[in-house]
Amino acid sequence: MDCYTANWNPLGDSAFYRKYELYSMDWDLKEELRDCLVAAAPYGGPIALLRNPWRKEKAASVRPVLDIYSASGVPLASLLWKSGPVVSLGWSAEEELLCVQEDGAVLVYGLHGDFRRHFSMGNEVLQNRVLDARIFHTEFGSGVAILTGAHRFTLSANVGDLKLRRMPEVPGLQSAPSCWTTLCQDRVAHILLAVGPDLYLLDHAACSAVIPPGLAPGVSSFLQMAVSFTYRHLALFTDTGYIWMGTASLKVDVGDMAMGLVSRVCPKHMCSRPRSKERAVVVAWERRLMVVGDAPESIQFVLDEDSYLVPELDGVRIFSRSTHEFLHEVPAASEEIFKIASMAPGALLLEAQKEYEKESQKADEYLREIQELGQLTQAVQQCIEAAGHEHQPEMQKSLLRAASFGKCFLDRFPPDSFVRMCQDLRVLNAVRDYHIGIPLTYSQYPHALVLRRLYPLAIQICEYLRLPEVQGVSRILAHWACYKVQQKDVSDEDVARAINQKLGDTPGVSYSDIAARAYGCGRTELAIKLLEYEPRSGEQVPLLLKMKRSKLALSKAIESGDTDLVFTVLLHLKNELNRGDFFMTLRNQPMALSLYRQFCKHQELETLKDLYNQDDNHQELGSFHIRASYAAEERIEGRVAALQTAADAFYKAKNEFAAKATEDQMRLLRLQRRLEDELGGQFLDLSLHDTVTTLILGGHNKRAEQLARDFRIPDKRLWWLKLTALADLEDWEELEKFSKSKKSPIGYLPFVEICMKQHNKYEAKKYASRVGPEQKVKALLLVGDVAQAADVAIEHRNEAELSLVLSHCTGATDGATADKIQRARAQAQKK
């Protein structure tokens, strides 16, 4: 155990740091790291080197080379740089390489050197050029900050949703700041810069001068600054050789600031470590590496060659031409178990297990000591936790064997944590392999493998961990398919077939997403073939519209039966095509044409008229003009003109009835206007019957009769209209005269009914006597003369009439009448 802690270095009284080798780098670097632009992704990510950059004096004919390696030095991609001068490189959270050029253009490459996209940081950056750039990470994504030649800052907090912000101007800034960095506070990106002895914090609205609390006097400039991986802590290197450490908010917080004298030489790299047990900053010079904390003593390492530091969540990666190492604070569980003379439960359990393997009785002594203290459960948990933080598989196995040994003496220890740790370590050891080259630590473990195109390994891990198919294998297969569509040396037909054979109906896989990636790679036909396998029309149609395949999108929308989807495509087509082509497309799709007509009826009447005109649909065109005459026109002349157009359309449609009816309506409108001018009152928009009724109610009987003759209203209808109007006026005298003017074509029963409706039995009886024999009984019953109705029914010997009278016989008064009817029936039966 003493040998195991030989590489532990104390920092203060509460923390130890250790540095161990991850890989022996096998890359063939022809130049020093100092002569390259270098960018390394976090979480054991890849390393990008831009050889022969423009800052180095080289022949103009020599083009730079961009190389991408895994963390173990295995080449992943190499491409000749053919674009403009590059100022800075950086990796996004999605492991895309961002190359910031001097003209403000940012080129984005994939992990394997495939070009993804590019964007510009704005015209101002283009005009003033880029002096310096930073790629940073926030909870919203990866951002880019630019320092221009005009000494102004431009920033975008998320390159996936590019929104440029021009930061406020720094007062009196005439040259580039001595150092600067990005901070993320309250979910907002800020820029901290140093100008001589002053610090300024830029946000979207203002430039504020800030003073680090506890800063030693005599500082005339800040030479270097570093923010922690979590953006919570900050370190400032001053020209006096001191390092200030505190919170990134730069606010006074007791115990959160410290100053330490390190060196008067400006370091090449500086990384601020998140605070755990002991706050620390890692500083590197040409041949020296220091870990500086609150304690007066620091940890120093000798660097044999030029090195590069990569901040991580739980430590710092250090790579050079020959080695790749990891420096981190020893986790608490490991420290408890392995520190010298430790009596922690985990340390005793580990010793007990080793003695047990030697068949020594000391194993029982150690185990009893732990049990007497009641700390056996704690000891098992310590060994399991410490195993996760160990890099060497031998030590992992030793600690897990100790945990398994301790579990045997516990009755109810849940096995989940032990099983899960065994699974996690198998996964971590697999991805740490040299050929894969992802040196993830247990703290960094939640990270994907599919970005490296290690699909078989990723699927095996998902199956081993028993992840749900939708969360595991499906996502990996979808990522594989998105990679497959980028293989342009394979035909569209072969790629589509291979993807469908591999994916089939795998749940959670969207063919539309894969098709979108194919379209983004310029393979439109492949995208269309892939969309054929997409079962959801709602996913097919938007991409087809984006690909300018609107007619195919319309067919797919119609097949889906989703009217909302069809309307979406129709509106897109309307904006995309000229009117003639749009209408011709609709003619070939009857369902779409019908739906569009319904839309136009409520939204675009003029377009509806154009549709009818193009189709020579004169019948619908006539109906359209009739509706338009009432909906749009207020002047009588305009309405008549619209009706005339409608009548012409009906004649073209050979619908003479509709044409004649329309012409009659035109005559009626003109007559109603004349009646309003001559008689006053409201006649416009009344029907023909209502016009006649209104004239009668106004006492203009002759005009009503003339109107009836002009429009050939049948006598029966005219009598009904006049009867109803006079009854409503209760002009009984005029009604009686009217009834005697000539023989009624509707008979006299309606007179009885109308009078009884107006509750005038007296007048009703006048007309009851004039009712014909066939309706006599009904008329007498209406006026309440049941006895006479019975006599008439008996006289007619009509069974239906007898039954009708009987139904009206109620009470003692009509008892004799009922008996009379029954006797008449009996006599009829005898005969």
Place of tokens 């004039």: 770
- Predicted confidence at residue 348, as pLDDT, reads 92
Closest of 145, 139, 37 to residue 89, by C-alpha: 37
Beta strand segments in 409-528, E: none
Q: Distance (Å, rounded) from C-alpha 181 to C-alpha 153?
A: 11
User: Which parts of 228-344 fold into alpha helices (H)?
Assistant: 332-338
Closest of 340, 482, 274 to residue 6, by C-alpha: 340
Q: Distance (Å, rounded) from C-alpha 202 to C-alpha 688?
A: 80
User: Which parts of 680-809 fold into alpha helices (H)?
Assistant: 688-697, 701-710, 715-729, 732-741, 749-757, 761-768, 773-782, 786-796, 799-807
Q: Distance (Å, rounded) from C-alpha 231 to C-alpha 248?
A: 7
The larger pLDDT score, comparing residue 605 to residue 564, is at: 564
- Predicted confidence at residue 24, as pLDDT, reads 93
The larger pLDDT score, comparing residue 450 to residue 589, is at: 589
- Predicted confidence at residue 813, as pLDDT, reads 53
List, in sequence order, every residue forming a beta bridge with 308; answer none if it has no partner.
319
Give Cα 205 to chain centroid, integer Å: 30
- Place 253 in a pLDDT band, splitting at 50, 70 and 90: very low
**pTM (two decimals):** 0.62
Provide the terminal-to-terminal Cα distance of the chain, rounded to the nearest Å.
135
Query: What is the arithmetic mean of pLDDT over 676-703?
Result: 75
Highest mean predicted confidence (pLDDT) among 1-15, 114-128, 624-638, 729-743: 114-128
Query: What is the arithmetic mean of pLDDT over 718-732?
Result: 79
pLDDT of residue 82 exceeding 80 = yes
Bin 225: left if φ > 0, else alpha if -120 < ψ < 50, else beta: beta
Cα dihedral sign, 522-523-524-528:
negative
200's enclosing H/E stretch is strand 198-202
Query: What is the arithmetic mean of pLDDT over 236-260?
Result: 72
Is the separation of the CB atoms in 197 and 190 below 8 Å?
no
pLDDT of residue 175 exceeding 70 = yes
Tens digit of each residue's pLDDT (9 = 90 or more) over 186-211 = 778 899 999 988 999 998 888 999 98
Q: What percent of the chain has pLDDT over 90?
A: 23
Closest of 703, 689, 698 to residue 729, by C-alpha: 698
pLDDT of residue 645 exceeding 80 = no
pLDDT of residue 126 exceeding 80 = yes
Quick one: 580 exposed, middle or buried, by C-beta within 10 A (0-12, 13-18, 19+)?
A: exposed
Closest of 237, 238, 252, 134 to residue 190, by C-alpha: 134
Tens digit of each residue's pLDDT (9 = 90 or more) over 396-425 = 999 999 999 999 998 888 888 898 899 889
- Predicted confidence at residue 260, as pLDDT, reads 58
Domains of the chain (ranges plus CATH)?
31-196 (2.130.10.10), 211-330 (no CATH), 332-413 (no CATH)
List, in sequence order, every residue forming a beta bridge with 600; answer none if it has no partner.
none
Strand order in the sheet with 308-311: 8-11, 15-24, 323-329, 315-319, 308-311
